[in-house]
Amino acid sequence: MLFSEQNYRRGEYCGSIEVICGSMFSGKTEELLRRLKRAQIAKLNVEIFKPKTDTRYDETAVVSHDLNSIQSTPVESSSAILLLGANTQVVGIDEAQFFDDNLPEVCNKLAQKGIRVIVAGLDMDFQGQPFGPVPALMAIAELVTKVNAVCVRCGSPAVYSYRTAASESRVLLGEKDSYEPRCRHCFHLGDMA
C-alpha cells in the first residue's frame, strides 16, 4: 500500500499517524512489524516503544503471537516517547490501549515534527467497550487499518476479544489461556457459544 510508506511533500518528509486496530489475534502486531521492517530496509531511523507493563512474551521486544519480533524500548508513560533520538524518522508503538490519555497528543507532536508514527492496539476491551487512547488516536490518524481475527467458535471474521478467564479487571495480560477472538454473534452468546 503506497500510502503507508513514508510520506513525501515537496522533497521533504511529512509526518503522519497510522493506526492498526482490531481484536486480539487479528494480526495487529504482524502488520506493525511488517511496516517497521520495511522502513528499516529503506534505511530510515526507526524507534519502537511499548508500555512497560506489557511483559507477556518479552520484557523488551515486541513479539507477535507467531513469535516474530523486533527490539523495542519499554516506557512507563507516553511522554517518555518524546525523548527519542533527534534523527528518528519512524516511530512504532505497540499495545497502545495500555498507554495514558496523553498518547494522541504525543503522536500529534511527533507527526508535526515530520515523523511517521505507526500505532497498534486493541480498539475494544473484553466487554466490547472502547479501550484507552485508541479511539482518540483513530480520530486523528491519516490512516486507520482495522484487521479481523477468525472467530474460534464459527469461523466468521472476529472483531471482539472474549475473555474466558474469571477476572473482571480491565487489564489482564494473557493470550489463548484467557481470551478467544469472536464474531459479534458468538461474543454476545457468551458462555452459550
Ligand X SMILES: Cc1cn([C@H]2C[C@H](O)[C@@H](COP(=O)(O)O)O2)c(=O)[nH]c1=O
Ligand Y SMILES: Nc1ncnc2c1ncn2[C@@H]1O[C@H](COP(=O)(O)OP(=O)(O)O)[C@@H](O)[C@H]1O
The option from Zn ion, ligand Y, ligand X, none interacting with 161 (CB < 5 to 8 A, set by class) reads: ligand X
For residue 176, state whether it binds ligand X (rule: CB under 6 A): no
Stretch of 13-21, 103-111, 151-159, 173-181 contacting ligand X, by CB under 6 A: 173-181
Q: Which of residues 96-155 bind Zn ion (CB under 5 A)?
A: 151, 153-154
Least gap, CB of 178 to Zn ion (angstroms): 18
With a CB cutoff of 8 Å and minimum separation 6, the contacts of 168 are none
**The one among 42, 173, 176, 188 contacting ligand X by CB under 6 A:** 173
Q: Which of residues 58-97 bind ligand X (CB under 6 A)?
A: none
**The one among 74, 128, 135, 174 contacting ligand X by CB under 6 A:** 174
The option from ligand Y, ligand X, Zn ion, none interacting with 117 (CB < 5 to 8 A, set by class) reads: none
For residue 137, state whether it binds ligand Y (rule: CB under 6 A): no
Residue 64, CA distances (Å) to 34, 137, 150 in order: 11, 22, 16
DSSP 2-43: GGGSPEEETTEEE-EEEEEEESTTSSHHHHHHHHHHHHHHTT
For residue 51, state whether it binds ligand Y (rule: CB under 6 A): no
Residue 164 cell numbers, joined: 474466558
Measure the CA–CA gap between 142 and 57, rounded to whole angstroms: 30
Query: Residues 9-48: x/- map of binding to ligand Y (CB under 6 A)?
Result: -------------x-xxxxxxx------------------
Measure the CA–CA gap between 122 and 181, rounded to whole angstroms: 12
Residue 175 cell numbers, joined: 493470550
Is 95 one of the catalytic residues? yes
Task: Please tell me which residue in 30, 95, 142, 175 is annotated as part of the active site.
Answer: 95
Residue 69 cell numbers, joined: 519480533
Contact of 164 with 38, CB cutoff 8 Å: no
Point out the residues that are catalytic.
Answer: 95
Q: Which residue ranges make up the site for Zn ion (CB under 5 A)?
A: 151, 153-154, 156, 183, 186
